[in-house]
Every structure is written in C-alpha cells, then in structure tokens.
C-alpha cells in the first residue's frame, strides 16, 4: 500500500494539471483566439488563426487524454482526494505560471516584446536557480534580439 501512495499522488497531480491545461485550451479556443487573432487569409495562404487553433486543439486533446489515463490508474475517489491534497504545490506552480503568462501577455501590449522577453528570461532563470548573472544577462539581451530578427527575416513579422 505504501508503494501505491506516490503513484496515486503523481496521478492526482497529473489529473489536476490536465484539467488546468484543458480549461486554458478551452479559454483560448472560445475567447482569446476568436477575439484577438485575425481570421482572414489570402488565396493559397493559411489563416493567421490556423496554428493557434491547431495548437489549442492539440493541447486540449492531449490534456484530456492525460486526465483519462491517470484517472484509470487511480483505484478510488479517496485516493484521488489524498493525492490532490498532497499535490497542491504543483497546482500552485501551474496557477502561478499561468498568472505570469497573463502578465506577459499584458506586458507585450504595453511595453513590447523585447523588454517583456528579457524580463521573462531573467525570471525563469532565477526560478530555475540558474545563478550565473553574466549568462542570464547575456541570454536576456541576445535571445530576444535574435528571435525578433528571425521573426522579421523569416516571416516579415515585426514583433510589438
């Protein structure tokens, strides 16, 4: 029985994460993509909403598969409740990163891509306990600039 506890806890965490991802995908499909991504396309061209919709549908399907597979592994509802109670820290991290993503989305429209990407890289490096300040600063400067240039050179898209 002691060997079942960690597996049940991990399955409960996966179920919680899968439900959060499914909810976020549903929000993207019903609100964010229809209201914030253009749908018009020229002849022989894909709609700008094609890849965001494809990604959201894929994320929704895979998250629901994760929930179904992990739910099948759990024997009882009480085991699920016990596992979920122990997995709150992972759920908190998921919600915290969703809040960071929402703030990043807001910051993109207010201060633009370059400062937002640099701040997110620094935040991610600190959270992941990457302590080389020079490397963090270099990544925060070089990576957003490189992505901005590649977006322009490859897709002729000027990031905000």
pTM over 0.75: no
Query: Within this chain, do residues 133 and 84 fall inside the same structural domain, yes or no?
Result: no
Q: State the total domains in the chain.
A: 2
More confident residue, 60 or 99: 60
Q: Which residues contact 116 (CB under 8 A, 6 or more apart)?
A: 104, 107, 108
Considering the domain boundaries, does residue 79 fall inside one? Answer: yes
Query: Within this chain, do residues 2 and 77 fall inside the same structural domain, yes or no?
Result: yes
Q: Does the structure show a pLDDT above 80 at 29? A: yes
| Domain, as residue range, for 140 | 112-160
pLDDT band of residue 50 (cuts 50, 70, 90) is confident
Q: Does the structure show a pLDDT above 70 at 95? A: yes
Q: Which residues contact 144 (CB under 8 A, 6 or more apart)?
A: 113, 114, 117, 118, 121
What pLDDT was estimated at residue 63?
95
Q: Does the structure show a pLDDT above 80 at 35? A: yes
Q: Which residues contact 11 (CB under 8 A, 6 or more apart)?
A: 70, 71, 73, 74, 80, 83
Q: Does the structure show a pLDDT above 60 at 96? A: yes
Instruction: For residues 4-13, give the mean pLDDT.
Output: 70
Considering the domain boundaries, does residue 1 fall inside one? Answer: yes
Residue in 99, 95, 93, 91 with CA at minimum distance from that of residue 127: 93
Query: Within this chain, do residues 12 and 85 fall inside the same structural domain, yes or no?
Result: yes
Query: Within this chain, do residues 86 and 140 fall inside the same structural domain, yes or no?
Result: no
Considering the domain boundaries, does residue 60 fall inside one? Answer: yes
């Amino acid at each position: 029985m002691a060997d079942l506890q960690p597996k049940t806890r991990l399955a409960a965490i996966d179920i919680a994460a899968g439900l959060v991802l499914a909810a976020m995908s549903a929000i993207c499909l019903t609100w964010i993509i229809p209201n914030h991504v253009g749908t018009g396309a020229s002849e022989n061209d894909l709609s700008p909403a094609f890849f965001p919709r494809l990604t959201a549908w894929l994320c929704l399907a895979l998250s629901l598969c994760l929930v179904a597979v992990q739910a099948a592994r759990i024997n009882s509802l009480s085991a699920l409740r016990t596992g979920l109670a122990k997995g709150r820290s992972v759920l908190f991290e998921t919600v915290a990163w969703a809040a960071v993503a929402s703030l990043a989305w807001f910051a993109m429209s207010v201060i633009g891509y370059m400062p937002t990407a640099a701040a997110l890289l620094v935040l991610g490096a600190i959270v992941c306990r990457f302590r080389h300040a020079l490397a963090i600063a270099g990544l925060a400067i070089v990576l957003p600039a490189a992505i901005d240039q590649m977006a322009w050179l490859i897709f002729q898209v000027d990031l905000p």
